[in-house]
Every structure is written in C-alpha cells, then in structure tokens.
Amino acid sequence: MNEISRDIAATAAAPFAGTQDAAAAPSLARKLAEVLTASRVGTIGAAILLAWCLLALLAPWIAPYPPNGIDASLMAYPWPTWRNWLGVDHLGRDILSRLIWGARTVLTVAPAAVIGAAVLGTLLGLLSGYRGGWIDALIMRVGDVLLAFPKIILYLIIIARFGPSAANIIAVITFTQAPIIARIVRAVTLDVKNRDYVAAARMRGESTLSILLREILPNVRGPLIVDFFLRLGYTVIAIGVLGFLGVGLPPPDPDWGSMVKEAYGMIFVWPHMTIIPAAAISSLVIGFNFLAQGLREAEIDG
C-alpha cells in the first residue's frame, strides 16, 4: 500500500499531456475495462469487489436468517453446521447472515465517505493550485492542521461528541481525508495551469469555473481514480476500527468491526467468531487495493 501511495504522488507531480475536452479523456468505465482485460491483479480485485457487491445487493433474498435473529438453542454449539454454514456468534445469531448484511452497510458508508472526501478535496485542490496566493496558503495550512492529528484520535473525538451513526462516520471521514486529496489535486493543478491550452482558454474569456472543470480537471482524473479505490480500502479499515472500538454503527445493526470486538475475548474457544469477520474486512481491503494497483498499471501502460 505504501508503494502504491508513492506511485500516486509521483504520478500527481509528473507532467500530463494536456487536453481541451474532458470527453477526450478515457472514461472510468473504459479504465475499468482495460484493467479487466490487461491486468491480472486488477481482475482479481474486481472479482472480489463484484462478489461482495452482489452479496450486499441481494442480502434480503440470499441471507438465510435475519441478521439480528437470536436462537438461544444454538449458543451451546456455535460451530458451523449444515444449518449455519459459518456458525453462530455468542448470542446465537447466524454469522453468514450478519456478514452479508454487514457488507451492505460497509459498501454504503465507505463509498459515500470517500466520494464526499473526493468532491471536497478536488474542489479545494483545484482552487488552491489555480488561484494561489493567500487562498492557497489558507487551504494548505488548514489541511496541515487536520493532518497533524492522528486520524483515529479525530475520529474518536468527533464521534464521541456527536454520537455513533452512519452519517457521522461519513462526515468525519470526509473531512479528514479531503486534505490529502486536495494535495494530490493541487500538485497536478500547479503543473497544468501554465499549459498553452489553459492560457488559450483565458484568452477566450472563459470563466475560472469553466477552466477548472473543462481544462484542468480531466488531467486530475487519472491520479484521482487510482487514489479513490485505494482510499476505499483505507476507509473500510477505518470503519472496522471504529466498530472494534465501540464507536462505529450503533447496535444491533451488523458491523464487521463490532463482530470482531464482540467475539475477540473468545478467540481461543470459538475462533471462527473473530476470524470470519476479520477475513471479510481483509478480503474487501485486498479487493480495493488490487483494483487500484490494476488501474495504476493501466495508467502507466497507457
């Protein structure tokens, strides 16, 4: 993951071939198609994500039991059986059902948070890099202040103040991730804003908003797409950590991090209760990282 982060930073700082029309740049769908056909790592990542997305989408129909349904008769023998393929937890709730419904939760909260961070960070980065001066200094210094604090501390402070909920988790991740994205966008904008086609747009009398969205933003899209999927993996980990610390989604809603927390004290007695949700978190993170790696390879090859 550190290697991919360094590659993203290097890509953001490198010169980009200018374009005057956003439509000329490869679309996200085309990029994903390139990954599926050209990158084995990207294909594996896309397959993992597609599997989890299908499970989340079909949760009401394929989950064998209600996610919060308690069967006290199963508590004495929680191991996997033909009735409960992955076993049950300490309260007799079916682990497979809770995993499937938990996938729906994490695949809703994580993308919403990263999309919010990407939109906010992109706007701030474009404005900072293009306008420069005191605007650039103000945005960067505020970002420095946010980045100076360990993210987990900020998560705990804000969520402890406003309470655990999906909306609060999305908000806190959005505002803590946006400064990092803003720096990536700013680095590209500083390089692109002096290109000839941007100067031509100014001479045509185009507005600042038009120049940012039509001339500069298409050049930012490549690094942002890679960073987006990589950051989704980080966000899945963050959601799991918050759930493990007890400040994630409020119970009894299924949350993979909370599932690990509830069972970690029994790991030497019933290890499947902890290992299975932890493996689910790991597989989703691996899927996002593999897809980001595949997109980066497609970017380099293209």
Over its length of 302 residues, how does the chain's per-residue pLDDT go in tens digits?
444 444 444 444 443 444 434 443 456 566 567 666 777 888 899 999 999 999 999 999 999 999 998 888 888 889 999 999 999 998 899 999 999 999 999 999 999 999 999 999 999 999 999 988 899 999 999 999 888 888 888 888 888 788 888 888 899 899 899 999 999 999 989 988 888 888 888 888 888 888 888 888 888 887 888 899 999 999 999 999 998 988 888 777 788 999 999 888 888 999 999 999 999 999 999 999 998 888 887 765 55
d(CA 214, CA 201): 10
The whole-number pLDDT of residue 57 equals: 95
Structure pTM?
0.84
**What ranges do the domains of the chain cover?**
2-13+49-68+81-301
Which stretches within 132-216 are classed as H helix?
Answer: 133-148, 151-162, 166-192, 196-203, 208-210
Strand partners, 88: 94
For domain 2-13+49-68+81-301, the CATH superfamily is: MetI-like (1.10.3720.10)
Question: Tokens 């908003």 identify what position?
Answer: 209
